[in-house]
Amino acid sequence: MPDIGIISSTIAAGVLLGGILGLTALGLSIVLGVMRLVNLAHGDFLVVGAYAGLFFLQFSGIDPVLGLPVVALLLGGLSIPLYRFLLAPLADRGAEAQMMTMFAVSIILENIFILVFSADTRSIARDYATYPLTLGPVTVPLIYLIGFAISVTVILVVHWLVSSTAFGRDLRASAADAQAAATLGVDVKRVQMLTFALGAACAGVGGTLIGAAFQFSPSSGGPYLLNSLAVVVLGGLGNVLGALVGGVVLGALQSVGGLTLGDGYRDVVGMALFLLVLAFRPEGFLAQGRT
């Protein structure tokens, strides 16, 4: 039986990490809510974010945490042509065509990463990242706390954007009933494009944070996507604050699973939980989630 310090530290680390997981899943969730699109390239967007953070550090020497707005703008900007030229033309062809297109984008991105950046595992190394932070019996790496704080901030900003602005009103209308929203004068295509860009920007920030907390490689996209999907079904589709809750729950359970069953079982816990929720409560634990 491990001592109380290890147990409490593990759970604390899981919860903090869960905040970051919530942010990595946020983009997937709002795109699903507004566009009814399971963005199968979402994991690769996160990997793009991680590489962007890494190269931003290497070329500018500026700390990637300070460069996060740049990464967000970059990802958001890159995603607009993706929406405009690949997704928008398929809008009236049903959800499958768009999903398959993003699947193709995903395999293209992954193989471009391998060709351009090699298959090496990398990490965004910062001295302070592994600096241990101790509070009573709890010890966690500093980067977890930084990542958690940034993630919660971004999620709250997005929540404010969605619940209290004119854009958010259009977004919620489009998510509830795109046709009715269009009849009432909402430019649904524009809303979808901005939602897609917002989702990609969040993925950029989340990807950099994940890249700073862990190692990543060109093929990390698949596991990232699956973890994000688990968070989304836990928190409810399109539910912004739900993503945070889902992330924290998943992070804590993964840590507990890793501690009791062995480290290899961390992701097993996530996937099993995901399938169980899908089977028994497909609308998520926070039902009636509104965007």
Partner 1 sequence: MNARVGFSIEVAALVIAFFVLWFLPDVTGDYWLQLGFRICIYLTLAHGWNLMAGSAGLVSLGTSCFVGLGAYVAVESLNGFGLPLPLVLVLCGVAGGLLAVLVSPALFRLRGLYFTVGTLALSELLRLLMVNVSTFGGATGLFLQEDPPALPVLFRYALVVAVVASAAITLCARTRVSVIFRAVRDDEDAAAQMGVRPFRVKLGAFVLASALGAAAGGIQAVKLGAIEPYGMFGLQWAIDVLSMVIIGGVGLRLGPLIGALFVVILGELLADYPEAHIAAAGLILIVLIRFAPHGIVGFAAHWLSLKLLKSLKRVPA
Stretch that binds partner 1, among 67-75, 89-97, 134-142, 167-175 (CB under 8 A): 89-97
Query: Assign residue 39 a region: left if phi > 0, alpha if psi is -120 to 50, beta otherwise?
Result: beta
Residue 88 in contact with partner 1, rule: CB under 8 A: no
Residues 91 to 150 in contact with partner 1, rule: CB under 8 A: 93, 95-97, 99-101, 103-108, 110-112, 114-115
- Quick note: the x/- pattern for partner 1 over 67-86, rule CB under 8 A, is -------------------x
Tokens of 275: 């399938």
- Quick note: the x/- pattern for partner 1 over 179-208, rule CB under 8 A, is ------------------------------
**How far is 232 from 213, CA to CA, in rounded Å?**
21
Which residues fall within 8 angstroms of residue 281, CB to CB, at 6 or more apart? 287
Stretch that binds partner 1, among 2-10, 17-25, 53-61, 221-229 (CB under 8 A): 221-229
Residue 264 in contact with partner 1, rule: CB under 8 A: yes
Residue for token pair 């950099």 = 208
Stretch that binds partner 1, among 127-135, 157-165, 174-182, 272-280 (CB under 8 A): 272-280
Closest CA to 20 of 125, 123, 149, 139: 149
- The three-point CA angle 228-42-265 to 5° equals 35
Residue 283 in contact with partner 1, rule: CB under 8 A: no
- State the number of binding residues for partner 1 (CB under 8 A): 41
Q: CB nearer to partner 1: give 88 or 129.
A: 88
Residue 262 in contact with partner 1, rule: CB under 8 A: yes
Residue 173 in contact with partner 1, rule: CB under 8 A: no
Q: Give the nearest distance from C-beta 150 to partner 1 in angstroms.
A: 28
With 0-12 / 13-18 / 19 or more C-beta atoms within 10 angstroms meaning exposed / middle / buried, residue 285 is middle
**How far is 53 from 257, CA to CA, in rounded Å?**
30
Q: CB nearer to partner 1: give 34 or 229.
A: 229
Residue 265 in contact with partner 1, rule: CB under 8 A: yes
Residue 65 in contact with partner 1, rule: CB under 8 A: no
214 Cα distance to chain centroid? 15
Q: Give the nearest distance from C-beta 9 to partner 1 in angstroms.
A: 23
| Residues 76, 205 contacting (CB under 8 angstroms) | no
Q: CB nearer to partner 1: give 9 or 98.
A: 98
**How far is 277 from 146, CA to CA, in rounded Å?**
30
- Quick note: the x/- pattern for partner 1 over 14-43, rule CB under 8 A, is ----------------------x-x-----
Which residues fall within 8 angstroms of residue 159, CB to CB, at 6 or more apart? 240, 241
As a whole number of Å, the CA-based R_g of the chain is: 19
DSSP-derived secondary structure letter, 37: -
Longest dimension (CA), the chain: 62
- Chain residues binding partner 1 by CB under 8 A are 36, 38, 86, 89-90, 93, 95-97, 99-101, 103-108, 110-112, 114-115, 222-223, 226, 229-230, 262, 264-265, 267-268, 271-272, 274-276, 278-279, 282
